Amino acid sequence: MKPVTVIIPMRNCEKYIHTALESVDFNLAECIVVDDFSEDGSVSLVKRYPVKLIKQFTHCGQGVGKNIGLDFALNELRTPYIMFLDADDYYSPNAIEKMLEAVRNHSCAVCNTRTFGDFKRDYGKLTLEGSFELTQSISMKTPVVAWNKIYTSESLRNVRFSRSIPEDNPFWFTYCCANEHKPINYISDVLCNYRQIETSSYNKQNRGANEFCNPLESYLYMYDWLKTHKPRPDLIHWLEESYLGNMVKLHNKITGEPIEKILSFIYKHIGEK
């Protein structure tokens, strides 16, 4: 059995998927590509590589695709470690080998990231280096993105992505709650290359042009996860202090709904729980 599974969600990425797959070391990694109803030549290109291709027949968004790949990795492949890679990004040479070394005796390891593309957004850079205990404070100093990390499969058993964008926010928050006080390792090596393009889901999100962008859904997903898995007042307070304001502002920016109305909706949901 290979030590790691790489999960790649994909939609209409024929221009970049070749570069992403060429960067995967298939000697070390199983690879799952979850196609989100692509309408270009992406699927034909993927079939040239030794990957497990899972096709969706409706457009569901990245969060759903990542969860499909994660469920397959955990239940079918059962590799000890899991990584994620966006279809328009790619790994640096020996990235998987270095990440496997970094995660030894840890539940998660995090690497540095190089950003490039259509605009400047230096995202994913680390301010930490070395081994730490995963706490609320440490988690807030860590980029929330899923793709610059390697995880033990066991640490992901109770963690999934929300359906909405930004789906990485609830994923990282719930991961930290599920793996509180476990060891996490930060390495300075630049092992992920993050391509920033105008048509990305992130840019669509901030223009209000992404049908899966619902910041309120993300926030309530995190709240409901806590109530189910770790109903502790300190974690619920952390959620409110860390995420509520940003999610409300983003929802206000996208929809124009008054902040008071958004907060009223949230607190009604929480009250009904």
Mean local confidence (pLDDT), 1-26:
97
Q: What is the mean pLDDT of residues 26-34?
A: 98
pLDDT band at 92 (very low <50, low <70, confident <90, very high): very high
Torsion, Cα of 238, 243, 244, 248 (10° steps): 180
pLDDT averaged over every residue in the chain? 92
- Is residue 273 predicted with pLDDT exceeding 60? no
Task: Please name which of 25, 93, 44 lies closest in space to residue 10, comparing C-alpha atoms.
Answer: 44
- 163 — phi, psi (to 5°)? -70, -25
Domain borders along the chain are 4-205, 214-272
The per-residue pLDDT for range 206-227, each reduced to its tens digit, is 555 556 778 899 999 999 999 9
What was the pLDDT predicted at 231? 95
Report CA Rg, the chain: 18
Regarding pTM above 0.85, the answer is: yes
Q: What's the pLDDT at 205?
A: 56
pLDDT of residue 199: 65
Tokens (6 digits) for 60: 């569901």
Question: pLDDT for 68-83, tens place per residue?
Answer: 999 999 999 999 999 9
**pLDDT range class, residue 48, cuts 50, 70, 90:** very high
> pLDDT (tens digit, 9 = 90+) per residue, 126-162?
999 999 999 999 999 999 999 999 999 999 999 999 9
| Dist. CA 244–CA 153, nearest whole Å | 29
CA-CA distance, 11 to 37, in Å (whole number)?
6
Query: Which band of pLDDT confidence, cut at 50, 70 and 90, is reported for residue 266?
Result: very high
Which pLDDT score, from 0 to 100, does residue 204 have? 57
Q: What are phi and psi of 161, to 5 degrees?
A: -85, 150
Q: Show the tokens assigned to 237.
A: 């307070």
Reply yes or no on domain 4-205 having CATH 3.30.70.260.
Answer: no
**Rama region for 34: left / alpha / beta (φ>0; ψ in -120 to 50; rest):** beta
Instruction: Please check the confidence at residue 125 and state whether its pLDDT lies above 90.
Output: no
